[in-house]
Structure 1
């Protein structure tokens, strides 16, 4: 076979690969912004208990995060209907529901209002909420969140009873470190040490909404604090999900992060991380990464 013919064959193969790759890549990006998946995680804990009786108590909640003003091709009805179909006892909106450069909060607040019609909503602030308020030079967003009927928790918590189960749910954006380790109390963010000491002082099942999993992954925080479950978002499942390798990038955890999506046992606590519902403008779009409605079932032993 002559060199010219071999070259033509090579060029033909390259063109064929490109012809296949372009529509595949387009499809993977498209479904990563417009489709939905529901992933369910089950947690069993002897703290999940409710009075007397033979039936094991259980609590179901939905976690959504990182909407980033995504409207799913103007089909928000499908998203809300999917969440409603789960019949949750409550819903966690775990931050970055809008973008830092959003013109206003209309899309995000409309979404939260519709969730409030389904079940009680607990809202934790993400980095984009903080940056949005900085850009607007106003904290009006906090009042807008509260006006939806959602409960905003930032360095705050509420004690609730769900199906007879005592739960303390809190929210904190800052970093939690081990104050007995290299990071001392004086080095922690203002008020964080006192808030966490107060938060952990209860026999109730403790859920902490922490937009960034990094807040409890680093500084041996997971060894220091008596928290049963940390609920996070932020990393978009790694943004680009590489087959067989997982998420590509995860904030402070860098490339191929260990804690990016799913349920983890981390020292004294469990950590559950949603891959979220959208993405802000990044160097790479979401890819091979279908938006997620996360369902968490808490079961008694």
Structure 2
């Protein structure tokens, strides 16, 4: 077996964008071995690629580029990946299956990944800003404190850092950047910066190496989206009907009920500040107009409800 793993698949997107659902669906294919969960420890320990997590004991998740590649790094990661594939293969043949690594923490490291594995394929899944924001606010409520770092420069793509308990947060740290309890504008910054980084990277590689999926379309038409994705990967169409039937088709209707009015207003402010830049990240375009109308509609409906209640 060659020292560098062949044609690995890296599934990226910001947290709460449907990466787990998609990875589970794709991982059911006989030609794909999905190694949960994110392989952060492998990246950190075998690859010397820090990823903030209690499992890795890393506090930071740095932006890494082409010139950060280290001697022997690809070989060490490949050996560790193959070991993980053997652990998670079930009845699948490791020699004839592809590794699938779902990992949102790779979004600010894609140039590095591309040099390490030049024949890799990338799947980018994205989800609308309102749904991701409300879902992140809900999920970032664990014992680990997630910290959104201040911007160093325009070239450095940020990712979450962490503190393992509230007492370990230095006094100079802005608590509004810490979750749970932080300002949701930083959740929106994360969504924007992560997706923009993936979008920018997608322009540097050939179109036959990256496949884009809109989470809302995956939820609405899972059979069609999965079939297209499997065709992109060059594997036979094999749809997991039982898993598809368990998908919650209403998961994207909940955001407006989980955010108070002041945070919905904050979201509107963020969208209007970004303006046309929102239209340049995703191929569908016109996101600014759609988000602006969507959030204004929610604010107007809440205002109408207040008037009705008070009259």
Bigger fraction of residues in helix: 2
TM-score by length of 1: 0.27
Larger-Rg structure: 1
Asked which structure has the greater RCO (Cα within 8 Å, sep 6+), the reply is: 1
Structure with higher strand content: 1
